Structure 1
Amino acid sequence: MAYALVSMVVNKLREEVYLVGDAKEEFEKLSSTLESIQALLNDAEIMQFHNESIQAWLKKFKDVVYDIEDVVNDMIPSPESESGTHDGDDRLIGNQAWACLFSVFSCCGLEDWIRLAHESWTDGDDTDNRSIRDKVRTFVSKVASQRDFARKIKQVRAKLDQIADDKSKFSFKEIHSFRGDSELDKAESQTSSLVDESQIHGRDEDRDTIISKLISGSSCEEGRIHVISIIGVGGLGKTTLAQLICNDERVKSHFHKVLWVCVSDHFNLINLTKAIIEAAGGTSPPHSRLGSLQKQLIQTLQDKLFLLVLDDVWNDDSQRWERLWLSLQRGAPGSRILVTARSEKVAFTCRDSAYMHKLKGLSDDDCWLLFSSKAFARREMKDCQELVKIGKEIVKKCKGVPLSAKVIGSTMCSKTTTQDWKDILESQTWEIPDIATGILPALLLSYYNLPVHLKQCFAYCSIFPKDHWLEKDILVKLWLAQGFIKPQGRREMESIGGEYFDELLRRSLLQDAIVYFEGVTKCKMHDLLHDLIQFITKNECCIFVNGKSDYSSVTVRHSSFIATGEMSHIPGPLCDAKKLRTLLQIRNSLINTIPDNLFQCARSLRALDFGGYDSSIKELPSSLGSLKHLRYLDLSYSKIVELPESVTHLRNLQTLKLNFCRELQSLPTGMSAMVRLRHLEIKETTELKYLPEGLGRISSLRTLSRFIVGGDGRCKIGELKRLDSLQGKLQIDHLERVASVDEAKEALLENKLQLSILSLEMSGVGEVERMENVVEALKPPLANLEQLEVWGYIGSKFPTWIGDSSFSNLVKLKLIDCNNCTQLPGLGRLPSLEYLEISTGLLKRVGSEFYGNGSGGCINLAAFPKLKHLEFKGIR
């Protein structure tokens, strides 16, 4: 983590900040010191597991590097002044006078100052109209900024020099950064939460033994639900074995219901009871008390023969378990509870514990099968006999732990030479006593062999609690907000970040990937990997549970909080955390107010998340606008009616999430100034009736969930003209407000080539001929669109482009409440169409034209080659 942090800061200094004079000199000294320490960091990060003094030294070092980055971020030009350039080409000089002046002063060593003056002079689009006074003021301001930067850099450099002197105490060796892949390989998508049985080895006997205990025994044991426990150290595959058992046909046919609930280390009886109800197919009110939830659980399981899996149990409080047991006794006789846990004490605490299965490690042969399936996924073992020999020695060091074999095998997949494999086999990391640290050496090796950028992204996940579902889209946007994603030419940053996520999956550092509706991908992280990154990031990243954390908040940089029960405020320590960069609300905490001093204190915030299903937040303090470094803001599901106008001061904001803010009525009028905004998410904002004028000037937008067509003085459809970078889904509401065909054509919808889903929605009123012409003019990008919805169209005929065979990738089409249409378009020509839903009240018949026929009137037998779902609604 330290090496990755230094790399990011040094690159940012070189690429984003233009320095002159003392500031340049101080920066060069600082960079030299940083690079001298950086060469030793790989060794230091390994040795910290043996030496607490090294842990303390690394903590001090990382604190200073974070401080350096804060100073650098204050120097990065604001979006308003980004038109200036520093490359010394003809555009920099601008005219002959400046070229002459530059040539004269360059021989005196003053060319940097001349460049700075010229930048100030020509800054902005209205150079000719700016007064001399304004130009001079800009130059003086930049000079003052340079001097202030030099002063701050000198202060942090003094701290850094002391830390550099201290490093001599530890005899660090210079270890070059581990070789990573030159390019990331896309991970194969995992689309099911079911366990992949082909990746399980050596557990048949364990499975059969436990299943026999689950389905055997007397069925008349009234009032008793036997508990079967799987006990073993972390990484042995307890959860995987439980999944294997649940998916066995013997178990599925025996029990009426098989329920899976992940308990983890934050044992909360209310949340656990809710989770069991939901696993059984029920729903529970968000603010229910325990008593009412227990009654609901009893009704849900009444007379049902069930198997309840409680995965990853840590709590051994017998009183809490007794209260849970009372709710589970009405199930049918023969019901069972299967518990996975690391501690035998947990098993003994469980009431009616009938059998404890102590899970052992795999044999070397079974470990090899798991290791080789990952390590040789992209090459033939018969062609790599030397690697096979080394690999079998590596497997022995895994000591029968399947997680170790799987993760280190995934790491070896990207190692191409015999020397790479020998380096892993002979690494001193294997000698770290995992009994003392609780961290497996194989996991450490896999972490240290990550490329720098993946280390940062993976370690950042430590701010989420164990067993939390990590959503790909959210993670990528958070990584982007923190500056973890490296630009690659003109490629989209979100696409690059998506490859980072996929690569972490391929390396088995993330697992259990599931693709939900609309392509949302979620995954989890194994507990031991979570323990690893929490150790690596302790004092930098922490989780507050009901206001408490294991680490000090003084130097914390990234934090999340979980507020359960009656807690309705942000933990006090976080309100005083001056160096905070990330603050996330987790698991629908019941926060109802945001203190004003939070934003006055945490001026370095990059990511702020107060979203959640139970959010009671109704307003935001105006001081939110002072967070000039903020790049990610999530207020989804909150009860806010409007955002403060100060939000428009967040000129670096990249992501603004307002999904399901059902009471939100307006957005700030000055949003056009937010020129770096990439994602404006406003799904299901039902009270939002219009968008602010000028939104179309934010040409950086990639996501715009809804575009609400407005009338005079509000955002008209022509604002879409410049937004050609829009991606994903675009919903256009209130098309009846489009005044003319010319206005519709201004949207240039056909140029939005990266859209995959388009929804055109109208109120069902208006002039028929005008609406027919407007929708005809809104021809979308036919070749790329995958889903199209048309709602409330009042025309008597559909636009000609709907049945165009150029819609080659259209999979789903909905024509809803198009009640005046008497004839259908030729949809049979659409080669990829799988889902078709039509609702039109005046439709009398479906003729041959529907199949996309030419002349002759015969039904085209080749029509709808891929159609799977056809539904007609509302036919009168």
Structure 2
Amino acid sequence: MYFSGEIVISSFFEALFANLVSPDTLHFATEKQVQKELNKLETVLRTVHAVLADAEEKQLKDQHVKMWLSKLRDLAFDVDDILDEFATEALRNKLKKDKQAHRSKVRKIIHSFTASFGPNAFLFRYKMMNKIKAISSRLDDLITRKNELQLRELDVGRPKRVIERPPTSSLVNEALVYGREYDKNVVIDLLLMDGDTDVQVSVVPIVGIGGIGKTTLAQLVYNDNKVQDLFDVKAWVCVSEDFNIVRITKSILQSVTCDASCNDVNDLNLLQVKLKEKLSKKKFLLVLDDIWNMSYNDWTILRSPFEVGDSRSKILVTTRNQNVSSVMKTVPDYSLKELSNDDCLFILAQHSIGAKDFSGHLDLKELGEQIVKKCKGLPLAAKTIGGLLRTRVDPDAWKVVLENEIWNSSEEQSGIIPALRLSYYHLPQHLKQCFSYCSIIRKDYEFGEEEVVLLWMAEGMLQQVNTKRLQIEKLGSMYFQDLVSRSFFQRSSRNKSQFMMHDLINDLARSVAGDICFRLEGDEKISSCARYSSFIGSRYNGFKRFHTFGDAEHLRTFMSFMLPNDGDCYLSNSVLIDLLPRLRCLRVLSLEGYYITKLPDSIGDLTHIRYLNFSYTKIKSLPESICTLFNLQTLLLRGCDRLKHLGSDLRLLANLQRLDITDANSIEGMPFGIGELIDIQSVSNFVIGQGVGYQIRELKNLSDLKGQLSISGLEHLVNAQDATEAMLFSKFSLDDLELKWTADVKGDLQNAGVEKEVLSLLQSHKKLKKLSINLNIATSVISLPALGQLPFLKALYVKGMDYVNKIGVEFYGENCSNAFPALEILRFEEMPQLKEWNTYQADEKTGNFNCLRDLSVKKCPKLLGSLPSYLPCLEKLVIHDCQLLEVSVPKHSRLYEIEIVGCKRVRHDGSFDLCSIKKATLSNITWFSCLKGLMLGLSQTEFIRVGGCRELPSLCHNGAGWLARSSFLRNLEILNCSQLVSMGISIGEQKEEVQQIWSCPKLAYLSSSGYLPVGLKHLWTDTCQMLESIADSVHNKTCLESIFIARCEKIQYLPDGLDKLSHLQQLHIECFRNLVSVSRLPSTGLRVLHLSWCRKLQALPNGLHCLTYLQELEISNCPCLLTFPEEGFPTNLTSLTISKPEILEGLIHWGFHKLTSLKRLAIYGGYSDGVMFPHEGNGMMLPCSVRKLAISDFPNVETLSSKGFQNLPFLECLSIVKLPKLKCLPRRDMLMSLLEL
């Protein structure tokens, strides 16, 4: 895909000038000729910089200017590389002088790994001189071309070019609006609320990304009948990009008076006095639509006339920028979310075929559903694509749109990217650079703020004059939050600490970045201009895939993104050994998640590198050469569970700011001298090695540590006083501290008796927010330290304190009645001797834990008594394996989730409701009968899991279904209930979306009505031996998307109506002893069909060949299945697994080659007579699309046919099992694409 992009390099030049006059550069420019060339370079660059604003403005209309800017950008990057080499050499020499004690070792390292810079400063300067002259020559050519293009220096005060958006009005065609009824009612309710007595007029902001429908929502609200009757005066003003107070005031006045006589008046005072007269004591509604930028001062001036109105007056604001809303709002923002796919489908139908649905064009419905998925809830996208397809009812035309990216349409036709591009044009230069860099992030990837900021920092995008290094990440955080406030990033719905880019915002990033950013997709070629790149990791990544990077020697970012749940991913060694050494300009290298066992020494040649991420790889040690990467700022080794040794000279990495070795649990100890890294800000885990307990003293000098710190290996401390030397109490930026003692392989502590004193000496500062104490078999600690008086402590984790038998006054401190004033999370785990927990809650006013939200107690088998009774803020309660504990549900709580597993009983007397609980797990409760009152109280629960309750015969109490009252139930799981006979409810009337019934051997039926809930989407039933049917029939409106049924031996048939389930995508039928046949299946939608171990199944489903959307088919171990369907298989299959001779023979006769989309083929048995595979007949010719081939149980095969494999040019994985007579493989040249054998 080619993107034209917009070249923005002004902010890059600012950093360049700072580096040109840096001490590091000047130190190595002492030779007159070098100094002269550098001075000339700076002078000419400043001349060019002066015309950049003009060039950046003209580039969109003049391709010659864009080409000039592109060449200038390439040159600027090359200059930056040269200056970085100066800085690196200066740092190298400084280390040689400062580390006299290690001089011989340093010289050895430098000699081994940095020969490319020459043996002495003279040769270095000579080489750099040649590079500077080459740059100067290129720059002279650009100066000449600049004059030819007539680029000039612009006035500083000259207004910036803006892209105008068409003005809006208050009118709206409500018939064309879908899915905003709820949003409209919420905003109207906000307008109907009484105003705050402290403010004269309330401001209600609607915030969201471009194209999401903010203006449309405001129009719906403005024209609603309730709103019409509520206000004396209404006015609508389109503010747009130019926040001109005179113009806006004039527009409001004209709207209020319906008089254009003030059109020629430009005196703000006269206009505001007149407007004040008109609004005095009136109840008015003012809509300010599409505000982009506004200062607090502007707002105070604009709002002056509004303060004389009725206090119930309202101002409704729409904006893309949360910073704008924060200036104006008096109530929280209303963040407008994306539409559902169904609502987008209505919009698409209305604008494409002029109808509300596709009932008259069923051949377009499936295509329309897939198209709206690409719209990602953006109504503008659905409307625009509908317009492009207006009156076109040919499915081929719709397929063209489906198979192409939305922005491929010309921007004049599309309107989607231009609508979003407006937001981009309003960004300052430094944010444009940071945002466009994010185009390398794959779609649907969730990222954290810190993750992105570290990448920006590595690429030098956070440079600021006079900014100290310790402020850089804070600067990056400001940049990030600015992009969040402008709706470029949005919070993930799954994880509130993570962020995402909407797909169309991602497309915008790629559009504005152009060819400087490259995402490897398919066979695309990288541009010579590319500096930042990424690729999505797959299971097998051969060198051939990365061939396009061979000439990208100036690349600065080489980054992989893994897809979730992709298993182990493998990378060709040629990428590490041959490709990476050629990418000598890299600043960022991330190969996270690959099955890499060893890193090459050539990593040390990447002298510009700032960011290395080898997290979740299988490396055992870091090469010593990594200690020569003097520019390295970030080293991420999270989850490297085989890593034992960090580089021995890690102390030489003077610029290292972040070392993450979280969950790298095999590390034997920190390298000596790590305390010399005085600028390091984050060390996730400080590991104290065996025999060097005193090394904890190296923490003393790491005074800038912030965030989270885990200290493990504390069992190796011999002298407890060493703990004092760590000076944790002085590290005020630490928020999260974890202390870990671990027993040796015999289960004993090596220095028993020391740990109690160490625990008392490792005192942190009082502003600590989270503390974790993990003492595994800590024989000498019998009480918890006094932690209750830490005023800012929000989270406390205590684990493995084997001999603590009581939690009492010593835990709370002097003031027991008001301990833990800020604590929100409290967890006790693996405390086998704990018998008593004194909560010291005398009454509700003096109780402890008043802020506690999350309470978890696990594996405390001797704990008696009760939990704290007054927990007003409690949202989550987890109790596991506390066999003697009787759990009472706390009163007056906000309990959202309850999880009780392996306890004696649960009490709830019914005196208060449990309507706040949305998720409940109840498992292995000894006296399950005690749960009746609790279950009846779960009237608004959305998720219920009941497991291991052997006494439970029915989900019924006194003839009433425990779950019948719960109309909110969405997910029901019943597991390992051996006596359960009846569900006890007419489940067809419920609204579950997910239902799992597992290992309930006496369960006879799922629903007394014989029907499944219409809203059910996922059904999973396993090991229910008495179950005869999942339902008598299913309604054609049932929303089922997946069905998994296994080991239900009495089922003989599937319910009628499966072929009417238009949403069904997956059907798994496994281990059915009595199933004879499978009824007709839905011809549209079904993508996965598995039939396995069905011993009496005699025929495949009728019309199997008509399942045109089927992609994955498995037919295995069905011995009575004797015939292959005459019409064959669906030709769109991408994965096929078969293990039956008759099916294989029929498939050969029908022709394997017809499966032209097949990527994965597995054949198990059924080839008893063949001696060659594949057979060289036409029917056995395998499709050339196959990438993964597995063959097994071929007793007589002797040869794998070279001719057959010649037809498999994309084969990556070949699995051969149980071929006892196999003598030879195909010729090597037939397997050149193979990655795994």
Give the TM-score normalised by the residue count of structure 1.
0.64
* Counterparts in 2 of 1:238 and 1:738: CA distance versus 1, 3 Å: same
CA contact (8 A) 1:782 1:808 kept: yes
CA contact (8 A) 1:632 1:653 kept: yes
User: Structure 1, unaligned stretches of length 5 or more?
Assistant: 85-119, 182-199, 213-233, 243-365, 389-402, 416-432
Structure 1 residue 792: Cα displacement:
2.5
Structure 1 residue 157: Cα displacement:
1.0
Moved over 6 A (4+): 127-130, 177-181, 200-204, 209-212, 238-242, 385-388, 408-415, 436-439
CA contact (8 A) 1:692 1:714 kept: no
* Counterparts in 2 of 1:539 and 1:129: CA distance versus 1, 3 Å: closer
CA contact (8 A) 1:683 1:706 kept: yes
1:834 paired residue number: 824
1:603 paired residue number: 584
Q: Distance in 1 between matches of 2:322 and 2:729?
A: 47
Q: Distance in 2 between matches of 1:715 and 1:54?
A: 63
2:84 paired residue number: 73
1:2 paired residue number: 9
Letter in 2 for 1:835: I
Structure 1 residue 479: Cα displacement:
0.9
* Counterparts in 2 of 1:861 and 1:79: CA distance versus 1, 3 Å: farther
Structure 1 residue 534: Cα displacement:
3.0
1:481 paired residue number: 458
* Counterparts in 2 of 1:382 and 1:783: CA distance versus 1, 3 Å: closer
CA contact (8 A) 1:704 1:726 kept: yes
2:754 paired residue number: 770
1:371 correspondence with 2:345 = no
Structure 1 residue 738: Cα displacement:
1.0
Q: Partner of 1:608: helix, strand, or coil?
A: strand
Q: List per-residue Cα deviations over 1:836-867 (Å, max 9, x = no partner).
A: 223433334334xx6499xxxx9993433323
Q: List per-residue Cα deviations over 1:617-652 (Å, max 9, x = no partner).
A: 222222111101111011112122222222222121
Bigger Rg, which one:
2
Q: Distance in 2 between matches of 1:3 and 1:557?
A: 17
CA contact (8 A) 1:61 1:163 kept: yes
Q: Distance in 1 between matches of 2:414 and 2:625?
A: 47
Q: Partner of 1:371: helix, strand, or coil?
A: strand
Structure 1 residue 467: Cα displacement:
4.3
1:44 correspondence with 2:55 = yes
Q: Distance in 2 between matches of 1:535 and 1:664?
A: 40
Q: Partner of 2:738: helix, strand, or coil?
A: strand
Identical positions, percent? 25
Letter in 2 for 1:152: K
1:726 paired residue number: 705
Identify which of 446, 452, 459 aligns with 1:469.
446
1:864 paired residue number: 849
Letter in 1 for 2:78: D
1:17 paired residue number: 25
* Counterparts in 2 of 1:644 and 1:499: CA distance versus 1, 3 Å: same
CA contact (8 A) 1:836 1:869 kept: yes
2:520 paired residue number: 544
CA contact (8 A) 2:210 2:423 kept: no
Task: List aligned pairs for 1:34-433, cutoff 5 A.
Answer: 34-78=45-89, 80-81=91-92, 123-124=97-98, 126=100, 141-142=120-121, 144-175=123-154, 208=178, 236-237=211-212, 369-372=288-291, 375=293, 378=296, 381=299, 383-384=301-302, 406-407=319-320
Q: List per-residue Cα deviations over 1:96-155 (Å, max 9, x = no partner).
A: xxxxxxxxxxxxxxxxxxxxxxxx9xx53659999xx99xxx999445544543332121
Q: Distance in 1 between matches of 2:852 and 2:322?
A: 42
Q: CA RMSD in A?
A: 4.3
Task: List aligned pairs for 1:576-655, cutoff 5 A.
Answer: 576-588=551-563, 590-593=569-572, 594-612=575-593, 615-655=594-634
Q: Distance in 2 between matches of 1:646 and 1:727?
A: 28
CA contact (8 A) 1:2 1:62 kept: yes
Q: Partner of 1:838: helix, strand, or coil?
A: strand
Q: Partner of 1:163: helix, strand, or coil?
A: helix
Name the structure with the higher strand share: 2
1:450 correspondence with 2:427 = yes
1:736 paired residue number: 715
CA contact (8 A) 1:813 1:835 kept: yes
CA contact (8 A) 2:118 2:124 kept: no
Q: Distance in 2 between matches of 1:759 and 1:49?
A: 54
Letter in 1 for 2:290: F
Letter in 1 for 2:524: K
Q: Distance in 1 between matches of 2:156 and 2:122?
A: 38
Letter in 1 for 2:46: E
* Counterparts in 2 of 1:763 and 1:382: CA distance versus 1, 3 Å: closer
Structure 1 residue 772: Cα displacement:
0.8
Give the TM-score normalised by the residue count of structure 2.
0.46
Q: Distance in 1 between matches of 2:555 and 2:850?
A: 56
User: Structure 2, unaligned stretches of length 5 or more?
Assistant: 1-7, 109-116, 161-169, 183-208, 218-284, 307-316, 329-409, 863-1237
1:492 paired residue number: 471
Identify which of 763, 783, 808 aligns with 2:791.
808
Q: Distance in 1 between matches of 2:147 and 2:414?
A: 26
1:818 correspondence with 2:815 = no
Q: Which moved more, 1:707-716 or 1:810-819?
A: 707-716
Structure 1 residue 495: Cα displacement:
1.5
Structure 1 residue 572: Cα displacement:
0.9
CA contact (8 A) 1:377 1:413 kept: no
Structure 1 residue 26: Cα displacement:
1.3
Letter in 1 for 2:73: K
Letter in 1 for 2:212: G
Task: List aligned pairs for 1:665-684, cutoff 5 A.
Answer: 665-684=644-663
* Counterparts in 2 of 1:210 and 1:723: CA distance versus 1, 3 Å: closer
Name the structure with the higher helix share: 1
Q: List per-residue Cα deviations over 1:320-340 (Å, max 9, x = no partner).
A: xxxxxxxxxxxxxxxxxxxxx
2:42 paired residue number: 31
Q: Partner of 2:643: helix, strand, or coil?
A: coil
1:556 correspondence with 2:474 = no
Higher RCO structure, 1 or 2 (CA under 8 Å, sep 6+): 1
Q: Partner of 1:499: helix, strand, or coil?
A: helix
Q: Distance in 1 between matches of 2:70 and 2:535?
A: 22
1:523 paired residue number: 500
Structure 1 residue 438: Cα displacement:
6.5
Identify which of 684, 689, 697 aligns with 2:668.
689
Q: Distance in 2 between matches of 1:694 and 1:475?
A: 30
Letter in 2 for 1:461: C
Structure 1 residue 501: Cα displacement:
0.4
1:716 correspondence with 2:695 = yes
Q: Distance in 1 between matches of 2:772 and 2:693?
A: 26
Q: Distance in 2 between matches of 1:514 and 1:692?
A: 38
2:894 paired residue number: none
Q: Distance in 2 between matches of 1:556 and 1:411?
A: 35
Letter in 2 for 1:794: A
CA contact (8 A) 2:12 2:461 kept: no
Structure 1 residue 450: Cα displacement:
3.4
2:836 paired residue number: 845
Q: Distance in 1 between matches of 2:305 and 2:541?
A: 56
CA contact (8 A) 1:796 1:821 kept: no
Q: Distance in 2 between matches of 1:611 and 1:42?
A: 39
Structure 1 residue 774: Cα displacement:
1.5
Structure 1 residue 816: Cα displacement:
1.5
